[in-house]
Amino acid sequence: MRPGCVLVFCVCISVFLRRAISQPPTETDTYTECTDGYHWDPQTQHCKDINECETIPEACKGEMKCFNHYGGYLCLPRSASVIPAPDPPNQVHPSLENTASESFNLCPPGFEPQGDSCVDVDECERDNHDCQPSQQCFNTEGSFSCQCPDGYRKVGTECIDIDECRYRYCQHRCVNVPGSFSCQCEPGFQLAGNNRSCIDVDECGMGAPCSQRCYNTYGTFLCRCEQGYELGPDGFACNDIDECSYSSYLCQYQCVNEHGKFSCVCPDGYQLLSTRLCQDINECETGAHQCSDGQTCVNIHGGYKCVDNKSCQEPYVQVSENRCTCPVTKPSCRDMPYSIVHRYMSITSERTVPSDIFQIQATSVYPGAYNTFRVRSGDDNGDFYIRQINNISAMLVLARAVKGPREYVLDLEMVSVNPLVSYHTSSVLRLNVYVGPYAF
Protein backbone atom coordinates (compact mmCIF):
# COMPACT_ATOMS: atom_id res chain seq x y z
CA MET A 1 0.00 0.00 0.00
CA ARG A 2 2.86 2.39 0.70
CA PRO A 3 4.22 2.64 -2.94
CA GLY A 4 0.69 3.35 -4.22
CA CYS A 5 0.23 6.22 -1.76
CA VAL A 6 3.55 7.78 -2.73
CA LEU A 7 2.61 7.54 -6.41
CA VAL A 8 -0.60 9.53 -5.82
CA PHE A 9 1.36 12.22 -3.99
CA CYS A 10 3.89 12.33 -6.80
CA VAL A 11 1.20 12.76 -9.48
CA CYS A 12 -0.49 15.52 -7.57
CA ILE A 13 2.71 17.40 -6.91
CA SER A 14 3.77 17.01 -10.57
CA VAL A 15 0.57 18.75 -11.65
CA PHE A 16 1.21 21.57 -9.20
CA LEU A 17 4.77 21.90 -10.36
CA ARG A 18 3.82 22.02 -14.03
CA ARG A 19 1.30 24.79 -13.40
CA ALA A 20 3.74 26.66 -11.25
CA ILE A 21 6.51 26.46 -13.80
CA SER A 22 4.21 27.43 -16.70
CA GLN A 23 3.25 30.69 -14.94
CA PRO A 24 3.95 33.48 -17.46
CA PRO A 25 6.78 35.73 -16.46
CA THR A 26 5.86 39.11 -15.11
CA GLU A 27 7.02 42.25 -16.69
CA THR A 28 9.54 43.72 -14.28
CA ASP A 29 9.13 47.22 -15.57
CA THR A 30 5.42 47.19 -14.89
CA TYR A 31 4.65 44.85 -11.90
CA THR A 32 6.42 44.48 -8.57
CA GLU A 33 3.75 42.43 -6.81
CA CYS A 34 3.58 38.63 -6.83
CA THR A 35 0.82 36.11 -6.31
CA ASP A 36 0.28 34.26 -3.02
CA GLY A 37 3.21 32.04 -2.17
CA TYR A 38 5.78 34.31 -3.86
CA HIS A 39 7.59 37.49 -2.95
CA TRP A 40 9.35 40.09 -5.13
CA ASP A 41 13.13 39.71 -5.29
CA PRO A 42 14.56 43.13 -6.18
CA GLN A 43 17.96 41.64 -6.91
CA THR A 44 16.76 39.29 -9.61
CA GLN A 45 13.73 41.45 -10.49
CA HIS A 46 11.59 38.27 -10.36
CA CYS A 47 8.95 36.71 -8.11
CA LYS A 48 10.61 34.15 -5.85
CA ASP A 49 8.86 31.24 -4.12
CA ILE A 50 8.41 31.57 -0.35
CA ASN A 51 9.65 28.51 1.61
CA GLU A 52 6.79 28.28 4.13
CA CYS A 53 8.51 25.27 5.83
CA GLU A 54 11.15 27.75 7.05
CA THR A 55 9.11 30.89 7.57
CA ILE A 56 6.05 29.41 9.33
CA PRO A 57 6.82 27.99 12.82
CA GLU A 58 5.52 24.44 13.15
CA ALA A 59 3.89 24.54 9.77
CA CYS A 60 3.00 20.82 10.13
CA LYS A 61 1.71 19.37 13.38
CA GLY A 62 2.19 15.96 14.91
CA GLU A 63 4.09 13.40 12.93
CA MET A 64 3.59 15.20 9.59
CA LYS A 65 6.52 16.55 7.60
CA CYS A 66 6.55 19.85 5.73
CA PHE A 67 7.34 19.79 1.95
CA ASN A 68 7.76 23.17 0.20
CA HIS A 69 6.54 23.57 -3.37
CA TYR A 70 5.93 26.51 -5.72
CA GLY A 71 3.37 28.84 -4.26
CA GLY A 72 2.69 26.77 -1.12
CA TYR A 73 3.64 23.74 0.97
CA LEU A 74 2.38 20.28 1.79
CA CYS A 75 2.14 18.37 5.08
CA LEU A 76 2.86 14.74 4.34
CA PRO A 77 3.85 11.73 6.46
CA ARG A 78 7.54 11.53 7.30
CA SER A 79 7.89 8.43 5.13
CA ALA A 80 6.59 10.24 2.01
CA SER A 81 8.92 11.66 -0.64
CA VAL A 82 8.35 14.12 -3.50
CA ILE A 83 9.59 13.54 -7.06
CA PRO A 84 9.54 16.81 -9.10
CA ALA A 85 8.27 16.86 -12.68
CA PRO A 86 10.86 17.64 -15.32
CA ASP A 87 11.09 21.24 -16.44
CA PRO A 88 9.71 22.16 -19.85
CA PRO A 89 12.38 22.42 -22.52
CA ASN A 90 14.38 25.68 -22.71
CA GLN A 91 12.60 27.04 -19.65
CA VAL A 92 14.89 28.08 -16.86
CA HIS A 93 13.91 29.84 -13.66
CA PRO A 94 17.03 30.90 -11.84
CA SER A 95 15.04 31.73 -8.74
CA LEU A 96 13.80 28.12 -8.46
CA GLU A 97 17.10 26.35 -9.08
CA ASN A 98 18.22 26.03 -5.47
CA THR A 99 14.73 25.48 -4.08
CA ALA A 100 14.06 22.45 -6.22
CA SER A 101 17.33 20.80 -5.34
CA GLU A 102 16.75 21.40 -1.63
CA SER A 103 13.11 20.28 -1.41
CA PHE A 104 12.84 17.21 -3.57
CA ASN A 105 14.41 13.77 -3.43
CA LEU A 106 14.67 11.53 -6.49
CA CYS A 107 15.44 8.38 -4.33
CA PRO A 108 12.95 5.90 -2.81
CA PRO A 109 11.57 6.64 0.69
CA GLY A 110 14.23 6.22 3.38
CA PHE A 111 17.04 6.99 0.93
CA GLU A 112 18.76 10.12 -0.28
CA PRO A 113 20.89 10.83 -3.33
CA GLN A 114 24.62 10.66 -3.02
CA GLY A 115 26.34 11.25 -6.34
CA ASP A 116 24.70 8.99 -8.87
CA SER A 117 23.28 6.58 -6.29
CA CYS A 118 20.84 6.51 -3.35
CA VAL A 119 22.03 5.76 0.17
CA ASP A 120 20.03 4.84 3.27
CA VAL A 121 19.02 7.65 5.59
CA ASP A 122 19.80 6.97 9.27
CA GLU A 123 16.63 8.43 10.74
CA CYS A 124 17.80 7.52 14.26
CA GLU A 125 21.03 9.50 13.97
CA ARG A 126 19.25 12.49 12.48
CA ASP A 127 16.51 12.27 15.10
CA ASN A 128 14.02 12.05 12.25
CA HIS A 129 11.84 9.39 13.84
CA ASP A 130 8.74 9.12 15.97
CA CYS A 131 10.07 6.79 18.71
CA GLN A 132 8.93 7.56 22.23
CA PRO A 133 11.53 8.76 24.78
CA SER A 134 11.36 5.38 26.52
CA GLN A 135 12.02 3.54 23.25
CA GLN A 136 15.21 2.93 21.36
CA CYS A 137 15.48 3.72 17.66
CA PHE A 138 17.13 1.11 15.40
CA ASN A 139 17.92 2.08 11.82
CA THR A 140 16.84 -0.37 9.11
CA GLU A 141 17.25 -0.42 5.33
CA GLY A 142 15.06 2.40 4.10
CA SER A 143 13.30 2.89 7.42
CA PHE A 144 13.68 2.51 11.20
CA SER A 145 12.05 0.61 14.07
CA CYS A 146 11.20 1.56 17.64
CA GLN A 147 12.03 -1.08 20.23
CA CYS A 148 11.41 -1.23 23.95
CA PRO A 149 14.24 -1.86 26.43
CA ASP A 150 14.57 -5.20 28.22
CA GLY A 151 11.81 -5.79 30.71
CA TYR A 152 9.21 -3.90 28.67
CA ARG A 153 6.79 -4.90 25.94
CA LYS A 154 5.33 -2.70 23.23
CA VAL A 155 1.62 -2.02 23.36
CA GLY A 156 0.67 0.28 20.51
CA THR A 157 3.25 3.02 20.55
CA GLU A 158 3.94 2.76 24.30
CA CYS A 159 6.37 0.56 26.28
CA ILE A 160 4.67 -1.21 29.18
CA ASP A 161 6.64 -2.79 32.04
CA ILE A 162 6.54 -6.60 32.09
CA ASP A 163 5.49 -7.93 35.50
CA GLU A 164 7.89 -10.86 35.66
CA CYS A 165 6.53 -11.82 39.09
CA ARG A 166 3.42 -13.18 37.35
CA TYR A 167 5.55 -15.99 35.93
CA ARG A 168 6.81 -17.13 39.35
CA TYR A 169 10.47 -16.91 38.55
CA CYS A 170 11.32 -16.62 42.28
CA GLN A 171 11.17 -19.45 44.82
CA HIS A 172 10.08 -17.24 47.73
CA ARG A 173 9.27 -13.58 47.13
CA CYS A 174 9.35 -11.58 43.90
CA VAL A 175 9.63 -7.78 43.76
CA ASN A 176 8.75 -6.21 40.43
CA VAL A 177 10.65 -3.06 39.46
CA PRO A 178 10.41 -1.01 36.24
CA GLY A 179 12.03 -3.03 33.50
CA SER A 180 13.14 -5.86 35.74
CA PHE A 181 12.49 -7.80 38.94
CA SER A 182 14.37 -9.07 41.96
CA CYS A 183 13.97 -12.17 44.11
CA GLN A 184 14.02 -12.09 47.88
CA CYS A 185 14.17 -14.90 50.40
CA GLU A 186 12.42 -15.45 53.69
CA PRO A 187 14.46 -14.95 56.90
CA GLY A 188 16.89 -17.82 57.35
CA PHE A 189 17.52 -18.19 53.62
CA GLN A 190 19.73 -16.52 51.04
CA LEU A 191 19.69 -16.26 47.27
CA ALA A 192 21.46 -19.02 45.37
CA GLY A 193 23.85 -18.39 42.51
CA ASN A 194 20.99 -18.22 40.00
CA ASN A 195 19.48 -15.26 41.94
CA ARG A 196 16.10 -17.02 41.98
CA SER A 197 16.31 -20.05 44.27
CA CYS A 198 16.64 -19.75 48.05
CA ILE A 199 19.02 -21.91 50.06
CA ASP A 200 19.20 -22.38 53.80
CA VAL A 201 21.58 -20.18 55.78
CA ASP A 202 23.72 -21.97 58.36
CA GLU A 203 23.35 -19.41 61.11
CA CYS A 204 25.47 -21.52 63.46
CA GLY A 205 28.44 -21.19 61.14
CA MET A 206 27.83 -17.46 60.73
CA GLY A 207 28.04 -16.49 64.38
CA ALA A 208 24.56 -17.20 65.71
CA PRO A 209 24.12 -15.60 69.16
CA CYS A 210 23.77 -18.90 71.04
CA SER A 211 25.76 -18.82 74.26
CA GLN A 212 26.37 -22.58 74.31
CA ARG A 213 25.05 -25.01 71.69
CA CYS A 214 23.64 -24.09 68.27
CA TYR A 215 21.68 -26.43 65.99
CA ASN A 216 20.97 -25.34 62.43
CA THR A 217 17.52 -26.19 61.08
CA TYR A 218 15.81 -25.48 57.76
CA GLY A 219 15.31 -21.76 57.63
CA THR A 220 16.29 -21.06 61.21
CA PHE A 221 18.38 -22.30 64.13
CA LEU A 222 17.90 -23.44 67.70
CA CYS A 223 19.93 -22.68 70.80
CA ARG A 224 20.39 -25.39 73.39
CA CYS A 225 22.15 -25.47 76.74
CA GLU A 226 24.52 -27.82 78.49
CA GLN A 227 23.29 -29.95 81.35
CA GLY A 228 22.72 -27.81 84.40
CA TYR A 229 21.64 -24.76 82.38
CA GLU A 230 18.32 -23.61 80.98
CA LEU A 231 17.51 -21.40 78.01
CA GLY A 232 16.72 -17.81 78.89
CA PRO A 233 13.65 -15.86 77.74
CA ASP A 234 15.55 -14.44 74.75
CA GLY A 235 16.15 -17.95 73.37
CA PHE A 236 19.91 -17.38 73.16
CA ALA A 237 21.43 -17.10 76.63
CA CYS A 238 21.90 -20.07 78.95
CA ASN A 239 21.25 -19.45 82.64
CA ASP A 240 22.49 -21.65 85.44
CA ILE A 241 19.85 -23.88 87.05
CA ASP A 242 19.81 -23.63 90.83
CA GLU A 243 19.11 -27.31 91.43
CA CYS A 244 19.25 -26.78 95.17
CA SER A 245 16.17 -24.56 95.06
CA TYR A 246 14.07 -27.25 93.39
CA SER A 247 14.19 -29.83 96.16
CA SER A 248 15.51 -30.27 99.70
CA TYR A 249 16.05 -33.99 99.12
CA LEU A 250 18.89 -33.72 96.62
CA CYS A 251 21.49 -33.94 99.38
CA GLN A 252 21.34 -35.66 102.72
CA TYR A 253 22.89 -32.71 104.50
CA GLN A 254 23.49 -29.60 102.38
CA CYS A 255 23.27 -28.76 98.68
CA VAL A 256 25.73 -26.30 97.12
CA ASN A 257 24.84 -24.82 93.74
CA GLU A 258 27.64 -24.43 91.18
CA HIS A 259 27.80 -23.30 87.55
CA GLY A 260 26.00 -25.96 85.57
CA LYS A 261 25.78 -28.42 88.43
CA PHE A 262 25.45 -28.89 92.18
CA SER A 263 27.35 -30.75 94.85
CA CYS A 264 26.58 -32.16 98.27
CA VAL A 265 28.64 -31.50 101.36
CA CYS A 266 28.65 -33.16 104.77
CA PRO A 267 29.19 -31.74 108.27
CA ASP A 268 32.32 -32.25 110.30
CA GLY A 269 32.79 -35.85 111.35
CA TYR A 270 31.10 -37.17 108.20
CA GLN A 271 32.27 -38.02 104.72
CA LEU A 272 30.42 -38.06 101.40
CA LEU A 273 29.15 -41.46 100.40
CA SER A 274 28.57 -41.69 96.65
CA THR A 275 27.44 -38.20 95.65
CA ARG A 276 24.60 -37.36 98.04
CA LEU A 277 24.77 -39.35 101.26
CA CYS A 278 26.81 -38.64 104.37
CA GLN A 279 28.56 -41.38 106.32
CA ASP A 280 30.01 -41.11 109.79
CA ILE A 281 33.81 -41.15 109.96
CA ASN A 282 35.10 -43.73 112.44
CA GLU A 283 37.92 -41.76 113.98
CA CYS A 284 38.76 -44.66 116.26
CA GLU A 285 39.59 -46.86 113.26
CA THR A 286 41.32 -44.20 111.19
CA GLY A 287 43.43 -42.99 114.13
CA ALA A 288 42.11 -39.47 113.82
CA HIS A 289 41.50 -39.12 117.58
CA GLN A 290 43.36 -37.76 120.59
CA CYS A 291 42.63 -40.41 123.22
CA SER A 292 45.50 -41.27 125.57
CA ASP A 293 46.91 -44.70 126.34
CA GLY A 294 44.76 -45.00 129.48
CA GLN A 295 41.60 -44.28 127.52
CA THR A 296 39.43 -46.14 125.09
CA CYS A 297 38.19 -44.44 121.87
CA VAL A 298 34.46 -44.82 121.39
CA ASN A 299 33.12 -43.81 117.96
CA ILE A 300 29.86 -41.92 117.92
CA HIS A 301 27.86 -40.19 115.14
CA GLY A 302 29.81 -37.17 114.03
CA GLY A 303 32.75 -37.66 116.41
CA TYR A 304 34.27 -39.82 119.13
CA LYS A 305 34.56 -40.09 122.93
CA CYS A 306 37.60 -40.93 125.03
CA VAL A 307 36.55 -43.15 127.95
CA ASP A 308 38.85 -43.92 130.93
CA ASN A 309 39.76 -47.57 131.17
CA LYS A 310 39.46 -47.51 135.00
CA SER A 311 35.83 -46.52 135.39
CA CYS A 312 34.94 -48.44 138.59
CA GLN A 313 33.98 -46.40 141.61
CA GLU A 314 33.96 -47.44 145.27
CA PRO A 315 32.90 -49.85 146.57
CA TYR A 316 33.28 -51.53 143.15
CA VAL A 317 36.50 -53.05 142.00
CA GLN A 318 37.52 -53.56 138.41
CA VAL A 319 37.79 -57.17 137.37
CA SER A 320 38.16 -56.63 133.61
CA GLU A 321 38.42 -53.80 131.09
CA ASN A 322 34.73 -52.85 131.31
CA ARG A 323 33.39 -54.88 134.28
CA CYS A 324 33.20 -53.89 137.91
CA THR A 325 32.00 -56.01 140.85
CA CYS A 326 31.02 -55.20 144.41
CA PRO A 327 32.37 -57.91 146.80
CA VAL A 328 29.79 -59.40 149.15
CA THR A 329 32.32 -59.15 151.94
CA LYS A 330 31.92 -55.39 151.93
CA PRO A 331 28.94 -54.26 154.04
CA SER A 332 28.29 -51.38 151.64
CA CYS A 333 27.69 -53.82 148.79
CA ARG A 334 24.69 -55.44 150.48
CA ASP A 335 22.04 -53.34 148.69
CA MET A 336 24.09 -52.67 145.57
CA PRO A 337 24.01 -54.60 142.26
CA TYR A 338 26.63 -57.25 142.28
CA SER A 339 28.22 -56.25 138.97
CA ILE A 340 28.27 -53.35 136.58
CA VAL A 341 29.21 -53.83 132.93
CA HIS A 342 29.97 -50.69 130.81
CA ARG A 343 28.72 -50.47 127.25
CA TYR A 344 28.60 -47.60 124.70
CA MET A 345 26.40 -46.98 121.70
CA SER A 346 25.38 -44.18 119.32
CA ILE A 347 22.05 -43.54 117.61
CA THR A 348 20.94 -40.95 115.02
CA SER A 349 18.83 -37.94 115.84
CA GLU A 350 15.04 -38.04 115.33
CA ARG A 351 14.99 -41.77 114.88
CA THR A 352 11.65 -43.38 114.04
CA VAL A 353 9.89 -44.73 117.15
CA PRO A 354 9.27 -47.15 118.68
CA SER A 355 12.68 -48.53 117.76
CA ASP A 356 14.67 -51.45 119.17
CA ILE A 357 18.13 -50.14 119.89
CA PHE A 358 19.91 -52.55 122.28
CA GLN A 359 19.47 -56.18 123.32
CA ILE A 360 20.31 -57.29 126.87
CA GLN A 361 21.56 -60.85 127.30
CA ALA A 362 22.29 -62.61 130.59
CA THR A 363 25.80 -64.11 130.64
CA SER A 364 25.19 -66.41 133.62
CA VAL A 365 21.95 -67.92 134.89
CA TYR A 366 21.37 -69.52 138.24
CA PRO A 367 19.30 -72.69 138.18
CA GLY A 368 15.70 -72.11 139.15
CA ALA A 369 16.07 -68.34 139.13
CA TYR A 370 13.56 -66.00 137.58
CA ASN A 371 15.03 -62.97 135.78
CA THR A 372 13.34 -59.61 135.24
CA PHE A 373 14.68 -56.53 133.44
CA ARG A 374 14.09 -52.83 134.09
CA VAL A 375 15.58 -49.37 133.57
CA ARG A 376 17.09 -48.68 136.99
CA SER A 377 18.15 -45.07 136.34
CA GLY A 378 18.97 -42.48 133.71
CA ASP A 379 15.56 -42.28 132.00
CA ASP A 380 13.95 -39.41 133.83
CA ASN A 381 11.75 -38.40 130.85
CA GLY A 382 10.57 -41.89 129.96
CA ASP A 383 12.27 -41.87 126.56
CA PHE A 384 13.01 -45.63 126.81
CA TYR A 385 11.40 -48.82 128.04
CA ILE A 386 12.36 -52.51 128.40
CA ARG A 387 10.57 -55.26 126.51
CA GLN A 388 11.47 -58.64 127.95
CA ILE A 389 11.94 -61.32 125.39
CA ASN A 390 12.44 -64.36 127.64
CA ASN A 391 14.01 -65.33 130.97
CA ILE A 392 17.52 -64.44 129.87
CA SER A 393 17.13 -61.58 127.38
CA ALA A 394 15.31 -58.29 126.90
CA MET A 395 15.25 -55.40 124.40
CA LEU A 396 15.81 -51.72 125.12
CA VAL A 397 13.28 -49.74 123.08
CA LEU A 398 13.40 -46.05 122.16
CA ALA A 399 9.92 -44.85 122.99
CA ARG A 400 10.10 -41.22 121.86
CA ALA A 401 12.02 -39.45 119.13
CA VAL A 402 14.97 -37.56 120.57
CA LYS A 403 17.16 -34.86 119.03
CA GLY A 404 20.88 -34.66 119.44
CA PRO A 405 23.51 -34.02 120.28
CA ARG A 406 22.63 -35.63 123.58
CA GLU A 407 23.94 -38.31 125.94
CA TYR A 408 22.06 -40.79 128.14
CA VAL A 409 23.63 -42.95 130.89
CA LEU A 410 21.13 -45.78 131.42
CA ASP A 411 21.49 -48.41 134.12
CA LEU A 412 19.71 -51.49 132.77
CA GLU A 413 19.22 -53.93 135.65
CA MET A 414 18.55 -57.67 135.56
CA VAL A 415 17.11 -58.96 138.85
CA SER A 416 17.40 -62.69 139.58
CA VAL A 417 15.14 -64.30 142.22
CA ASN A 418 14.88 -67.94 143.41
CA PRO A 419 12.14 -68.14 146.06
CA LEU A 420 12.92 -71.73 146.89
CA VAL A 421 16.31 -70.93 148.28
CA SER A 422 15.62 -67.27 149.10
CA TYR A 423 18.11 -66.17 146.43
CA HIS A 424 18.07 -62.52 145.29
CA THR A 425 20.71 -60.72 143.29
CA SER A 426 21.03 -58.19 140.48
CA SER A 427 23.51 -56.97 137.89
CA VAL A 428 23.60 -53.72 135.93
CA LEU A 429 24.53 -52.93 132.37
CA ARG A 430 25.53 -49.27 132.31
CA LEU A 431 24.78 -48.15 128.77
CA ASN A 432 26.02 -44.79 127.48
CA VAL A 433 23.70 -43.77 124.64
CA TYR A 434 25.05 -40.92 122.42
CA VAL A 435 22.47 -39.26 120.21
CA GLY A 436 24.08 -37.77 117.09
CA PRO A 437 23.32 -34.22 115.86
CA TYR A 438 21.78 -35.36 112.54
CA ALA A 439 19.32 -37.94 111.27
CA PHE A 440 22.10 -39.83 109.44
* 440 occurs within a structural domain: no
Averaged over 232-240, what is the pLDDT?
A: 96
- For residues 226 and 258, membership in a common domain is answered with no
User: What domain range is 154 assigned to?
Assistant: 118-161
- For residues 126 and 54, membership in a common domain is answered with no
- The least confident of 4-13, 25-34, 80-89, 399-408 is 4-13
Alpha-carbon distance of 325 to 304, in angstroms, equals 27
* Strand pairing category for 339-347 and 423-435: parallel
pLDDT for 296-308, tens place per residue?
Answer: 999 999 999 999 9
* Number of independent structural domains in the chain: 6
Averaged over 385-402, what is the pLDDT?
A: 96
Instruction: Output the 3-class SS for 244-269.
Output: HHHCCCCCCCEEEEECCEEEEECCCC
Q: Which of these three, 74, 100, 134, is where a domain ends?
A: 74
- For residues 326 and 424, membership in a common domain is answered with yes
Alpha-carbon distance of 161 to 274, in angstroms, equals 79
- For residues 411 and 380, membership in a common domain is answered with yes
Q: What is the pTM of this model?
A: 0.55
Nearest in space to 201 (alpha carbons), one of 214, 190, 210: 190
- For residues 354 and 423, membership in a common domain is answered with yes
pLDDT of 208 over the 80 cut: yes
- For residues 427 and 316, membership in a common domain is answered with yes
- For residues 325 and 413, membership in a common domain is answered with yes
Task: Please name the helix (run of DSSP H) or strand (run of DSSP E) that holds residue 231, with its range, or none.
Answer: strand 229-231
- For residues 416 and 335, membership in a common domain is answered with yes
pLDDT of 354 over the 90 cut: yes
Q: Helix (H, G, I), strand (E, B), or coil: what is residue 30?
A: coil
- For residues 373 and 430, membership in a common domain is answered with yes
Domain of 128, CATH number, reads 2.10.25
- For residues 369 and 428, membership in a common domain is answered with yes
Q: What is the DSSP string of 57-87?
A: TT-S-TTEEEEEETTEEEEEETT----PPPP
- For residues 322 and 341, membership in a common domain is answered with yes
* 177 occurs within a structural domain: yes
- Greater confidence (238 vs 35) lies with 238
* Strand pairing category for 317-320 and 173-177: unpaired
* 334 occurs within a structural domain: yes
Nearest in space to 315 (alpha carbons), one of 327, 307, 300: 327
- For residues 235 and 135, membership in a common domain is answered with no
Q: What is the pLDDT of residue 11?
A: 31
pLDDT for 125-160, tens place per residue?
Answer: 998 888 988 889 999 998 999 999 988 988 888 898
Q: CA angle, corner 106, sides to 102 and 107, nearest 5?
A: 115
* 361 occurs within a structural domain: yes
